[in-house]
Structure 1
């Protein structure tokens, strides 16, 4: 009889290989074929056990306006609350409330079947009332990009997603106030190739900015700013290209850096990839550098310029990058990997309360539930989603596999940017 840790290891392995999202765990083969990166992805998770929640992120590919006011997600990060130092675990919270108690307007239903007959895919939260979607034109291939207005319950078409090569798949979609950008690749080919696209947020015809080869084509994370598309590559290094067109350039002194949320990038310390921690943060606009203090036994420490999250042994914690203000998180909140990401004062995290996925509110020290146990859910920039009518079912023979059963009518979507707006003015 396998215990929970055995199940955890099995599901971690499955999540690392299957990058599909709710409504498509059975598409794991196609997802693995077309998505090579180990980071910055929506991961399939199983709420019936403690498993990884991603962002994808990235880490997330949340966009920033270069030299412009930060977008809502950036503002949420920047206002993360400083927390008092404590050597003791945070108090066990009261029974979790449902996330609709924080802000019912942050939770909405979106149909899975697109107007074009394909399937909608959730791509990002753009604002407290807007969700970026793609619509498939064929299996796993984005054909259109749209903005879904949650109060109006309607989708507005921005334009088509071109497919310039055989075997082409569009990848991460990101946005700022003016533009939506994405990159694509041909993952079934042996060549190292990618391209970059941009379309106005008001709609129009997509423009291919550049075809990339070599190191610059090994894209791991993408941002769009007011003037540039910016990305980093797996081995380290941050590049940018003007939205107006031109040649890509590698940003000076970025060889060991990975892009997070523009203008911030990070360097990684030593260790296994799944346990490596941020060692240094760099503002690529100002040159400001912040050294991250990591204590013995810490793993998967991820930092914004204001706050870090990580784990040590069986305990999760938050701290400031300099190591001050360290505080253990409540027993209900468990981090199972390095991919968890802060969304302002909210930490979507693995939960232990009745096996349901949780969001921990750092400011209020309260735990909120979302979804149902046994439901697969996805996470991308500023957004969580799942199919209430689908269930993750694990079967074991020589190898244990998980498959999604049922559902297919609508997603339940939590807009984390709308939850940010639930905080009272101070």
Structure 2
């Protein structure tokens, strides 16, 4: 499980705490009250996430350490009184929500689901980036965790991989690639040193067909606080945390600000929006426009009253419709074709995938034959809902492209288990401020992922026919 997945899981658990219906009343008052509660609930939910507390000999033990670690291993921090091993981490549905039966993506879109090796022949781990076509995947091969050594293309028909390039050695200590972007003719990426205080980033580009990468240049200060990148025929473009979009020619030269982009963030070139995922502002704020930076066209987004966290792709928007109903609001940019999806709840920052679909959490009873998905993908064009992941506690990944990826993946053979051991209760912190230090023996538990490592199940949304 990578850092992006960890943050998303915490946000989803926070969303779970918000699912209970609230009294109806004046809408403005209700929204203000709800927002105040949400802020508190996000903190409370992060603490109440799938932990195990045991009472032994009168001593209460609370496991110490970080809940998530690299690869899903680490000790649990929790105040939850119990949890069920392997239970799906999804939003519980209010009792009023109808039962929704979810079928696996392999049944809904059989042409879009397949398996690939989890590792290359030399043992390097594969990490999907995005789909290049309905039958081709862009992958990185990692020599160690998140250390990409190669870029490869995997053909799902021939089940063979072709090396596009060996990743260049930067010579920069602590350097990690942060995101890749596929253009019509080129593949670009950017990197930084995320584990130190340097405010620095650089950009690379290579032919889409393969070849030697070229370092375009580097930036420092505020220009290095990259949120997303894009690539055109002659430039690398990127948006920054505080808003604004910049361009750097592939031929070299100083970065320049793209005119008229104050407050804008890249979605997928040439589209920009007025909300950035690293903005650090109000996560409940609604997106209000989509801007085409090539034509200058501005499309205003119409959000219904009471809807929050509205996020839009090129055509469709998804938002928190819990003030309008029990679920997710889906609509087109102009507000047409809007409806509430009962029992489906938006996952912040992951609503738009593949430029057409929404990734959502599912609540209530679901599945057939014991199937419980980790998430669902909703297709507004067809109305189909497809389950992804297994809900057995194993992590669910998404491609690491800068633009909304078309790839989702998981390891069917991997599951999350709880391991506990008896410890001296005195080494564990009290459950709450002012409470006495636990005495006697206690149980410290940790959760880790076990098994798997042979194959990845991949959903390539580029392989979903437009009419399905």
State the TM bucket, normalised to the shorter chain. Answer: 0.7 to 0.9
Q: Give the C-alpha shift of residue 272 in structure 1.
A: 4.8
Cα 1:342–1:134, aligned 2, differ >3 Å: closer, same or farther?
A: closer
Match of residue 190, structure 1, among 179, 189, 197: 197
The answer as to whether partners of 1:124 and 1:131 remain within 8 angstroms in 2 is yes
RMSD: 3.4
Deviation per CA, 1:45-67: give whole Å up to 9, x if none: x980226xxxxxxxxxxxxxxxx
**In structure 1, what is the Cα distance between the partners aligned to 2:184 and 2:49?**
37
Is the partner of 1:323 in helix, strand or coil?
coil
Structure 2 match to 1:261: 268
Structure 2 match to 1:346: 357
The answer as to whether partners of 2:319 and 2:329 remain within 8 angstroms in 1 is yes
Structure 2 match to 1:26: 73
**In structure 2, what is the Cα distance between the partners aligned to 1:11 and 1:229?**
41
When the two structures are superposed, what TM-score results if normalisation uses the length of structure 1? 0.75
Match of residue 390, structure 1, among 407, 414, 419: 414
Structure 2 match to 1:138: 144
Cα 1:19–1:173, aligned 2, differ >3 Å: closer, same or farther?
A: farther
**In structure 2, what is the Cα distance between the partners aligned to 1:19 and 1:178?**
38
Q: Give the C-alpha shift of residue 370 in structure 1.
A: 2.8
Deviation per CA, 1:227-258: give whole Å up to 9, x if none: 32211111111112223333321101212001
Structure 2 match to 1:405: 450
The answer as to whether partners of 1:315 and 1:334 remain within 8 angstroms in 2 is yes
The answer as to whether partners of 1:113 and 1:120 remain within 8 angstroms in 2 is yes
Task: Summarize the alignment of residues 329-340 of structure 1 with structure 2, pairs less than 5 Å apart.
Answer: 329-331=341-343, 333-340=344-351
Structure 1 match to 2:232: 225
When the two structures are superposed, what TM-score results if normalisation uses the length of structure 2? 0.69
Is residue 117 of structure 1 aligned with residue 123 of structure 2?
yes
Match of residue 322, structure 1, among 318, 334, 342: 334
**In structure 2, what is the Cα distance between the partners aligned to 1:18 and 1:423?**
42
**In structure 1, what is the Cα distance between the partners aligned to 2:231 and 2:87?**
33
Is residue 206 of structure 1 aligned with residue 213 of structure 2?
yes
Task: Summarize the alignment of residues 242-391 of structure 1 with structure 2, pairs less than 5 Å apart.
Answer: 242-268=249-275, 272-313=281-322, 314-331=326-343, 333-343=344-354, 345-352=356-363, 353-354=366-367, 355-356=372-373, 357-374=375-392, 375-380=394-399, 381-391=405-415
Q: Give the C-alpha shift of residue 403 in structure 1.
A: 3.1
Q: Larger relative CO (CA 8 A, sep 6+): 1 or 2?
A: 1
Structure 2 match to 1:48: 88
**In structure 2, what is the Cα distance between the partners aligned to 1:186 and 1:47?**
36
Number of equivalent positions: 361
Where structure 1 has 5 or more consecutive residues not aligned to the other structure, the ranges are 29-45, 52-90
Cα 1:119–1:208, aligned 2, differ >3 Å: closer, same or farther?
A: same
Cα 1:47–1:162, aligned 2, differ >3 Å: closer, same or farther?
A: farther
Deviation per CA, 1:184-205: give whole Å up to 9, x if none: 1112222210100111122111
Cα 1:212–1:27, aligned 2, differ >3 Å: closer, same or farther?
A: farther
Is the partner of 1:324 in helix, strand or coil?
coil
The answer as to whether partners of 1:317 and 1:329 remain within 8 angstroms in 2 is yes
